[in-house]
Structure 1
């Protein structure tokens, strides 16, 4: 009987998956486009799947949060405008959503050093959101960069910065669908000690391990970003350790952190990029910076090989640029997202990005076997996506290896200024690598 159920599951999934290397664009609605608030890389998540239902969120032209839902693989989108609005003129104020293991949507939006804006769906599968509410009621007055991540068992992790650029701390909460309550895991997991703050990226792997990496920033000036640190938790976020298994004394500080790569200030090192893990739980970090002695920032892969951290350059860009200054920058390349897949002893990697050198299309750098470090580029869109950065459905990728990518052409002026771009179509692009 168990084998019969397994065979039925395979048959169901076979009708659920797009063909390898095929690409499909499914329009959802129109979104605000004068800056990159809908297209920022640190949206966790912009698109998310739970069971056979997929959800997406964005700001419309009047700054309302809009939600949509469809039944996979190709059901029609059900679209609902919520009563909530955000300050869309600040590109930091993204929408992040997650659906817990019981089917309830969790939504957080409109944050850049201001009080928590959080609500939950009224029923499993519902697009009707309840009232704004606190989580724990502690340290919820100066929130930035909300992120949701789902544990394999259906619980939800919420991460955010408490404080400002250059002097903020990382806070962690955990939600249980059984009790329908949030609990505080750490009020200060990574401590900037009032002198700096951590700009992190995080993921939860198939085993439930939380991986976090981060750069330190000494001031609001982006040029003060430096180094790449790492920590992981194998017990749901309670205790934290280095890649060696050595336990951290908390909170983690600049002096006690493990460093996956040492990168000096003024290296055009970007913040808030991507970390992922393979089937064995090995971490991989994608970012970009300008290598010493060169003038051009390049995409870089930092990964753990045995007990050693290694760095490899994976792009061959030719156009220089500078990150100096404050606020959201208008940059000729996007921050990257990284996905990996291990099959038959080979680990393939896929780096999602946008580059003016490729006419600002949504593109992917792919390597079928990281042991060879041979990368090729593929454009996923044929048209320009402006200043868009990649965000995708992490849960669908984990389940069946399909990339569901949030795409919308966006503008972005330098230092939080706007471009005169009318509302642009929001769509979900689907792609399934042929050699995954």
Structure 2
């Protein structure tokens, strides 16, 4: 694949670099919004008109601490009003909404959405439902004890309400689900995958699971059997019965599809010898069938609380054409690349080098402070015209289990916007 070219570059601001935390970029029509934490760790939203080199900045009353969970995200509703949420890890809801369409300077804090179960919020995300309605999902509770909720927004009344009367996944006071966003598949269903965790210890992840829905209200398992909400460990459709301390981890459970529109979930677990491996599980006629993918002689031993530095990364299975699939991966021990799989057997038939990705000139760390890493954020929207894509780039130290760092800290990093084609 030919390396993308940089067709536009624009500096936004100096930003916090003491620990990683996610920023958000949204291109909507001819307007562009970026939500980030500035050099003093204050939540900020920048806005510009496409083609302009001038940003307008709105400072919001929310200050980042040391928690890498506390990313910031945003969305625009059907009326053009901007929604911003973030800086939360088991704390009261932090949410802002503009009072004027496509005007970040009019953002005001809204203390409540439904005013229920909004005091212990984590993982806020906006997405679109079956009718393109704006939906907000988050976890209520803590790691090892939480529920997943969905709110839906009425642009006419400018109010939120629960999408479902019951929570979608329920930990029964003993565990919590780590779900991905519901993904609209090629079969017209929204597909939801998650993994359960018993305690704040990352090693207690277990039982990756699955459900699907046409409307995000009525759910069923992979065989079409209706599921009564809330979905629990006992009622969910288990992809692979991986036990606690079995090598599975939230964030490393990915959903893709084969040419027959069957869901394939890629994930990690320990093999019978205790080594870390990649696996794929596909929903076939008899149920979920597990396929080993790698044969590494290596174990990534992880555990404990807080944000950890991942030694394995993997993507979702994608079509490679000609009866083949591809699965991207990276490891600390076995390098990175793309595994080409036979679609019928899911056996590895070829290993390719990792894709070029971002332009080479952007990949290397520029600042001199030791141990900095390059961070990226893709566009939650898309340009109205002209093709290509926009990305954000900045540099920061890696995770530190969400604890304050002592000693010298890096100076602020430069946050840049690039258009790639």
TM-score by shorter chain over 0.5: yes
- Alignment CA distance shift 1:206-1:198 (3 Å): closer
Decide which of 92, 97, 105 is 1:120's aligned counterpart: 97
Q: State the alpha-carbon separation in 2 of the partners of residues 368 and 242 from structure 1.
A: 26
Q: Which moved more, 1:62-71 or 1:184-193?
A: 62-71
Alpha-carbon distance in structure 2 between the residues aligned to 1:112 and 1:232? 27
> Which segments of 5 or more consecutive residues in structure 1 lack a partner in the other structure?
1-18, 40-45
Structure 2 residue 401 is matched with structure 1 residue 415: yes
Question: In the TM superposition, what whole-angstrom CA distance separates every residue of 1:98-117 from its partner, at most 9, and x where no partner exists?
Answer: 22233222111111111101
- Is the contact between residue 364 and residue 379 of structure 1 (CA under 8 Å) also seen in structure 2? no
Q: Check if 1:289 corresponds to 2:273.
A: no
- Which residue is equivalent to 1:196? 175
Shift of 1:316: 7.5
Partner of 2:368: none
Contact 1:49 1:99 in 2 (8 A): no
Aligned to 1:272: 251
Alignment of 1:37-436 (within 5 A): 37-38=21-22, 46-70=24-48, 76=53, 78-128=55-105, 129-151=107-129, 153-186=131-164, 187-205=166-184, 209-235=189-215, 237-273=216-252, 275-276=254-255, 282-295=262-275, 297-304=276-283, 308-311=287-290, 320-333=299-312, 335-336=313-314, 338=316, 340=318, 351=328, 355-356=331-332, 365=338, 374-376=350-352, 377-381=354-358, 382-384=363-365, 386=372, 392-396=378-382, 404-418=390-404, 420-428=409-417
* 1:17-56 alignment runs, 5 A limit: 21-24=3-6, 26=9, 27-38=11-22, 46-56=24-34
> How far off its partner does 1:126 sit?
1.7
* Change over 3 Å in CA distance of 1:255–1:367 after alignment to 2: same
Length-normalised TM-score, structure 1: 0.77
Contact 1:411 1:418 in 2 (8 A): no
Paired residue total = 398
Q: 1:269 to 1:100 in 2, by over 3 A?
A: same
CA deviations 1:288-324 (Å, max 9, x no partner) are: 33333243x3454444456643455667777643211
CA RMSD after TM alignment: 3.8
The alpha-carbon deviation at position 228 of structure 1 amounts to: 0.7
Larger radius of gyration: 2
Displacement of 1:227 in angstroms is: 1.7
Gaps of 5+ in 2: 366-370
More strand by share: 2
Structure 2 length normalisation: TM-score? 0.79
Q: Deviations over 1:147-168 (max 9, x none)?
A: 1112364411111111111111
Shift of the 77–238 alpha-carbon distance from structure 1 to 2, 3 Å rule, reads farther
User: For residues 185 and 52 of structure 1, do their structure 2 counterparts lie closer, same or farther at Cα, with a shift above 3 Å needed?
Assistant: same
CA distance in 1, matches of 2:386, 2:307: 34
